[in-house]
Amino acid sequence: MNVTGVAWPALTNFLEDEADYNLYGYVPNYGPNILFLVLFALTTIAHFGQVLYYRQWWMLVMPVGTLAEVGGYIPRFIGHDNPRKRDPYVATMALLIITPCLFAAVHFTVLGRICTLFPRKYSLVPPVMVMPFFVSVDIISLIVQGVGAGSAGSADTEDDAASGSHVTVGGVAVQLTGYIVFMLSFLIFAERIRRDPPTGIAHYKPLLMATFFSSLCIILRSIYRVIEMATGWTGSIATKEWCLFSFDASLVLIACVILNFWNPARYLPKHFSWKYNPEKDVNSPFYKGSRENPEDVEANGEGALSTSEKDKEKVPQNPEHEPEEKFIDAPLAK
């Protein structure tokens, strides 16, 4: 019996199967990966520059997130040369899946801050609860997605990979649900200020529009990720590289670039307070202990809110004692 004649074809077939196998389901292309790496690097530089210029440090979340996107595309170059190497695959999958949670946190914070600047009647929920609620949901989804992506990427069996995928789907679903509730709150706020616009809201309208469209991009991306992971890591969507660039990379990039052109720090107060005045059912981030309503504060030509001269005359003055200055927060940043 010719053992060599039987074994050699089997070994050849095995090696051919191993050569064809890769974790991605395709060989990552250099061209589009270089393109998105460069574009995310550019928006990262822009966001870092805007943070330094406006000095609103909470916005550091944006450049950190875009930098993580850059980090998510670097391992794909290793995947091009060796698509069976596990560590780069796990790194790119985890970073690209998890990072949009950071951008979601920015969207939630923007809405919370804008709602706090205007009377309670415009907000669906108490303004001081907007940011904590949605960011908490975001953190939960971030943790769940991280656990799921790590489990799926490091799985040794198909069942383990499927379990990790299901966990990740759950995390993205939590994020998507939170975003839908967020958009509902956002649209209710926008409709209420449209019907009864408060003084000074015109300054914030560009930011509201930018936040809406940036959020919409992340929502569409999350829908894609849910469908992708629901069909499995070896499904027809996850194994098509053009799907990643069309429904993830492009949408996330657009969301980030929108906030470059309409950066929240350009519109929101640098010195901000979450203080709330329940007695008048309005927020009072303008003057501590003041009876002024944000609707009575007018926007001047330089983008700062100033009290009208008529209202100033109503403030009692003590000639023997200079009144204590109670201004604590600049309502608008130039």
Show the domains of the chain with their CATH numbers. 22-267 (1.20.1070)
Render pLDDT for 250-304 as a digit per residue (tens, 0 to 9).
999 999 999 999 999 999 988 766 654 444 433 333 333 333 333 333 333 333 3
Q: Which stretch of 11-15, 41-45, 176-180, 263-267 has the lowest confidence by average pLDDT?
A: 11-15
CA angle 37, 147, 33 (to 5 degrees): 15
The span from the CA of 210 to the CA of 162, in Å, is: 37
In the structure encoding, which two tokens stand for residue 154, read together? 């490091």
Rounded to a whole number of angstroms, the CA Rg of the chain reads: 26
Average pLDDT over every residue of 122-143: 85
Confidence of residue 153 (pLDDT cuts 50, 70, 90): low
Single out the residue of 333, 264, 283 nearest to residue 107, CA to CA. 264
Q: What is the pLDDT of residue 232?
A: 80
Q: What's the pTM?
A: 0.75
The span from the CA of 225 to the CA of 172, in Å, is: 7
Own/partner pairs, 289-296, CB within 8 angstroms, 24+ separation? 289/326, 290/326, 293/119, 294/117, 294/118, 294/119, 294/198, 294/199, 294/200, 294/331, 295/118, 295/119, 295/198, 295/199, 296/199
Measured CA distances, 142 to 58, 178, 297 (Å): 18, 12, 39
Alpha helices in 154-244, H assignment, sequence order: 158-195, 205-230, 241-244
Q: What is the pLDDT of residue 14?
A: 40
Q: What is the pLDDT of residue 145?
A: 82
High-pLDDT (> 90) share of the chain, %: 44
Q: What is the pLDDT of residue 3?
A: 43
The span from the CA of 204 to the CA of 217, in Å, is: 20
Return the exposure string of 232-264: e unless at least 16 CB atoms fall within 10 Å of the residue's CB, then b. Answer: bbeeebbbebebbbebbbbbbbbbbbbbbebbb
Average pLDDT over every residue of 19-35: 87
Q: To which residue do tokens 């007018």 refer? A: 298
SS3 156: coil
**184 with 245: CB under 8 angstroms?**
no
Q: What is the pLDDT of residue 54?
A: 94
Q: Which stretch of 51-55, 213-217, 265-269 has the lowest confidence by average pLDDT?
A: 265-269
Confidence of residue 27 (pLDDT cuts 50, 70, 90): very high
The span from the CA of 329 to the CA of 318, in Å, is: 24
- Mean residue pLDDT of the chain comes to 78
